[in-house]
Amino acid sequence: MKRINVLFILCLIALTNCDQNPMASPKNTHQKGKAYIYVEESFKPLFETSISTFESLNPQADLVAKYTTEGKIIQAFLEGKVKTITITREFTKAEKYYLKSKNVEVTSDRIALDAVALIVHPENKDTTISIPQLKKFLKDKSSVWPTSKEPVTIVFDQMNSANFNYITELLQTKTLSPNVFAAKSNEEVLEYVKKNKNAVGIIGLNWISDQEDFEVLNFLDGIHVMDVRLTDDSPSFKPINGFIFTREYPLIRDVWMINKGSRSSLNTGFVNFMVGEKGQILVHKSELVPANNPIRLIQMNPKN
């Protein structure tokens, strides 16, 4: 009787292992397997390049990225739908407390310093804007351009995106002028500004920063990137990595990767890649500021 029970238990173990093996194959490690990540749409150009590079270095790795708004990404993470995300902030105390209550451990890594860029049509004569002026444009429906006196229209990518959240945090309000509206993506903002001479587009810098990218050059054709002042009387700066690194450009933000994948998983392998030397080189190539390998600034003194 005991012999029969032992054989029965061994058979159950074997059957259980057979059920589990398909789920565990291929084994998920830092270099192979399949993993899903959610990325704020502002950083789609960087992550398309980074994922392609990572997979070329690790042929058995399959990374699937979903590009969407920051609000949807955070909600998906808190609901356990995804293990690795890229957003523009750390989790709040309330979000961390919620995860802790669910016994979920996360790691947070800052991978870059980014900026929000303001773009206008090339025929717009007003190419510099101050933060107080931007706030007025966003709140006051009667705002007009100083030179043309035409009404100002402002377009975001999407509601609850990183760009939208950043600007509304800057204003400390979600009440915006009726002349402010959302498109469906950063790419659609670029196309809208190309067709509307009185529009200001608010986009993630990454969409226009890597000027070695042919697609980026297409985006830049037909727009002008505005200079931004902190105050009405202060110097103005363009959103280039030198002025982002020194924090002279006023509209800057961090880029975070937050991960709850196991230490040996492909999710963690990709995060390690992005915070490591190869990933930081890709960040630098995209003309953002690497978090772990800051750019070297060289001051050139003109000859007298």
pLDDT digits 0-9 by tens, 270-281: 999 999 999 999
CATH number of 114-252: 3.40.190.10
pLDDT above 90 as % of the chain: 76
Closest CA to 135 of 231, 239, 249: 231
**Count of CB atoms within 10 A of residue 257's CB?**
24
For residue 219, name the pLDDT band (cuts at 50, 70, 90).
low
Give the model's pLDDT for residue 272: 97
Q: What is the pLDDT of residues 94-150, one digit of tens each?
A: 999 999 999 999 999 999 999 999 999 999 999 999 999 999 999 999 999 999 999
pTM of the model: 0.84
Task: Tell me the pLDDT tens digit for each residue of 23-69.
Answer: 333 578 999 999 999 999 999 999 999 999 999 999 999 999 999 99
**28-113+254-290 and 114-252 share one fold:** yes
Neighbours of 299 (CB within 10 A): 4
Give residue 209's pLDDT: 80
Quick check: 16 pLDDT over 70? no
109 in Cβ contact with 200 (< 8 Å)? no
Going by C-alpha positions, the residue among 223, 232, 207 that lies closest to residue 286 is: 207
State residue 294's pLDDT score: 56
Q: What is the pLDDT of the chain when averaged over all its residues?
A: 87
Ramachandran sector of residue 231 (left: φ over 0; alpha: ψ -120 to 50; beta: rest): beta
Q: Where are the domains of the chain?
A: 28-113+254-290, 114-252
Is the pLDDT confidence value at 213 over 70?
A: no
The predicted model gives 206-235 an average pLDDT of 82
pLDDT, one tens digit per residue, over 70-93 is 999 999 999 999 999 999 999 999
Q: pLDDT-based confidence at 298, cuts 50/70/90?
A: very low
What integer is the mean pLDDT of 171-195?
90
12 pLDDT more than 50:
no
Specify the fold of 28-113+254-290: D-Maltodextrin-Binding Protein; domain 2 (3.40.190)
